DNA sequence: TTGTAGACTAACGTCGACA
DNA sequence: CTGTCGACGTTAGTCTACA
């Protein structure tokens, strides 16, 4: 499984778990809503700074976030 | 401390610990040597995919790599 | 609420050359 | 071995708008 695809799924999963809409997450993280939409669909690759911004609002550490991505990739080899 | 600065220092530290030159790391990771130079100096922000490529050659998981960055930032607040 | 489209700016990442 | 420079193509990330 490709990295950006796994990242998108983990992002969507965590965002919904926290109960935020894409718009709310966008406003809080200082990112654009349409960009978050593309991230969730695996159409964009986030920089490290973007990962930090998103993780903060999702109540997880950046490394914890990345770890979930790794697991997702490993699970779907 | 800024994210990219911390990332650069951790990258340099781990690369030297593994005993690779920037050129060797570049060749193995499929990235450009001058880009790695800029990363180490905190002048570029890596994407998630770049982090995965580098971590693989440095013998650490991507999340472990990011965790070191977090620690570095926390230590120097 | 989310996806998509287009147009845009800034930055990522490559490459060759030289100190 | 590493930093830097300039030039370049590609993509991250913004913004407005509409279904």
Q: Write out residues 35-54 of B within 8 Å (CB-CB) of A.
A: 45-49, 51-52
CA B48/CA B62 separation, integer angstroms? 9
CA dihedral B11, B59, A56, A6 (to 10 degrees): 130
CA B37/CA B17 separation, integer angstroms? 16
| C5 C1' to A37 CA distance, Å | 13
What distances in angstroms separate CA B55 from CA A2, A18, A20, A63, B24, one per listed residue? 16, 29, 31, 13, 14
Instruction: Please name the member of A4, A45, A63 whose beta carbon is closest to the beta carbon of B66.
Output: A63
Q: Quick one: DSSP state of residue A59? A: T
pLDDT tens digit at each of 77 positions of chain B? 899 999 999 999 999 999 999 999 999 999 999 999 999 999 999 999 999 999 999 999 999 999 999 999 999 86
Q: Are B70 and A65 in contact (CB under 8 A)?
A: no
In the numeric block, the tokens 């997702």 are attached to A72
How many residues appear in chain B? 77
- Cβ contacts of B42 on chain A, cutoff 8 Å: none
Regions of chain A with pLDDT less than 50: none
B5: contact with A, CB 8 A cutoff: no
Share of chain A above pLDDT 70, in %: 99
- How far is Cα of residue A45 from the mean position of the Cα atoms in its chain? 10
On whether the pTM is more than 0.85, the answer is yes
Please give the nucleotide, over all strands, whose C1' is closest to the CA of residue B35. C13
B69: contact with A, CB 8 A cutoff: yes
């Amino acid at each position: 499984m490709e990295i950006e695809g796994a990242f998108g799924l983990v992002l969507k999963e965590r965002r919904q778990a926290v109960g935020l809409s894409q718009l709310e997450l966008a406003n809080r993280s200082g990112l654009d809503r349409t960009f978050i939409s593309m991230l969730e669909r695996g159409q964009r690759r986030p920089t490290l700074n973007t990962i930090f911004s998103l993780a903060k609002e999702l109540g997880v550490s950046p490394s914890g976030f990345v770890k979930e991505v790794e697991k997702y990739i490993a699970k779907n080899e």
